[in-house]
Amino acid sequence: MLELGTVKAVPLRELWSGEATHFTPWLSQNLGILAEKLGMDLELEMIEAAAGDFAADIIARDLSTNRRVVIENQFGNTDHRHLGQLITYASVLDAGAVVWIPETIRSEHKSAIDFLNQNLKESLRLYAIEASAIRIDQSKPAFVLNVISQPTEPAIRADERGETISETREKYRAYFQSLIDELRTKYSFTNARVGQPQNWYFFASENSRIYKYGMSFAIGGRVRAEIYLDCGEKAKNELLFDCLHQQAFAIHQEFGSELTWERLDERRGCRIVSYHDGSIDADTEQLVQIKDWAIASLLKLKSIFPKRIEQCLSKISASGASEQDAEIAS
């Protein structure tokens, strides 16, 4: 006879003794769980970000729109104070979205979030998500997120002046919608769900605070798939780029063709690119071919670079430590 286990609720405080001291740091290092629920690719910016006299728990960036996402955690039931804080954070930090993650969302607060989403439209998007944990008999606990309230319209970033989307921008939106749908459903490459009316798209990586994957339509009738290096420090970006460039021959052999190495000395970041002929004004059959090329290129970049980047970061870190030791010794 089939025996079934019993599902038991586990209070969050049994797993994380403090919301600010334990749960928030854990969630900031596991944003992929939340990103999947939101249908976004999220890049962590900071935790405990100052907003006037208050501090927002987590600040992230939605890579598809390049807009800030404020995340506020709360053990227990929702309350008016946290709702007010969310609006304050959104205003002070210029957020495009706010995410409220309590254990239980009161019905009046769900109504408030629904009301704000209906009236604020694209200017601010609000999400209310209940967090819980369960275990089956004596199994390891499992973390669960349940979306209670969210915007009803997709997060398509319209023109800032409220103008209608042009024919060209609509072509971009349709192309990227097809691209991200295939990347998400067939290859689990991204959490993104909504194509944007723009000529570029960035995707989260294994370490998005150091590098990201990207696909864009460049000038001169070319499209590119890339690794974009940006840890926030130009000198470190260049050290990482130079370390990878030293391996260019082996990387090209593994990739199957030559890549273009763009140090971008006039910018903070650097990029490593695979180019292909193409334009958003190409016919449908050609756009499908461009999409297939982009997917294959992004998957190859993902298979080649993460390990090499981590090795280079370790090498750079060790070199910096050796230089510091030498200075101390002298």
What H or E segment, with its residue span, contains residue 23? none
Top CATH class of 9-149 equals alpha beta
Tell me the pLDDT of the chain (330 aa) as tens digits: 888 999 999 999 999 999 999 999 999 999 999 999 999 999 999 999 888 888 999 999 999 989 999 999 999 999 999 999 999 999 999 999 999 999 999 999 999 999 999 988 778 999 999 999 999 999 999 999 999 999 987 666 654 445 567 899 999 999 999 999 999 999 999 999 999 999 999 999 999 999 999 999 999 999 999 999 999 999 999 999 999 999 999 999 999 999 999 999 889 999 999 999 999 999 999 999 999 999 999 999 999 999 999 999 999 988 875 554 444 344
Which own/partner contact pairs does 232-237 have at CB distance under 8 Å and 24+ positions apart? 232/268, 233/268, 234/268, 236/316, 237/268, 237/269, 237/270
The answer to whether 228 touches 196, Cβ cutoff 8 Å, is: no
The tokens of 34 are what? Answer: 């939340």
The tokens of 3 are what? Answer: 């025996």
Angle among Cα 272, 277, 278 to the nearest 5 degrees reads 110
Q: What is the tally of helices (H) and strands (E) in the chain?
A: 9, 12
DSSP-derived 3-state class of residue 68: strand
Alpha-carbon span 161 to 155, nearest angstrom: 16
Tell me the residue type at 34: L
Same fold, 9-149 and 167-320: no
Contacts of 67 (CB under 8 A, 6+ apart): 61, 95, 96, 97, 157
The residue among 99, 203, 105 whose CA lies nearest residue 151 is 99
Which own/partner contact pairs does 147-154 have at CB distance under 8 Å and 24+ positions apart? 147/37, 148/105, 148/110, 149/105, 149/110, 149/113, 149/114, 149/117, 150/117, 150/125, 150/126, 151/117, 151/125, 151/126, 151/127, 152/117, 152/118, 153/121, 153/122, 154/193, 154/194
Which position has the token pair 């007010």? Answer: 84
Q: What is the pLDDT of residue 322?
A: 54
The answer to whether 198 touches 212, Cβ cutoff 8 Å, is: no
For 74, counting Cβ atoms within 10 Å of its Cβ (0-12 exposed, 13-18 middle, 19+ buried), the class is buried
Alpha-carbon span 37 to 170, nearest angstrom: 26
Dihedral sign of CA atoms 283, 289, 292, 296 in order: negative
The DSSP symbol for 76 reads E
The residue among 23, 311, 63, 70 whose CA lies nearest residue 208 is 63
- Residue 269 β-bridge partners: none
Enumerate the domain spans of the chain: 9-149, 167-320
- Residue 145 β-bridge partners: 131
Q: What is the pLDDT of residue 326?
A: 45
Q: What is the pLDDT of residue 330?
A: 41
Q: Which CATH number fits domain 167-320: 1.10.1060, 3.30.1460, 1.10.3210, 1.10.10?
A: 3.30.1460
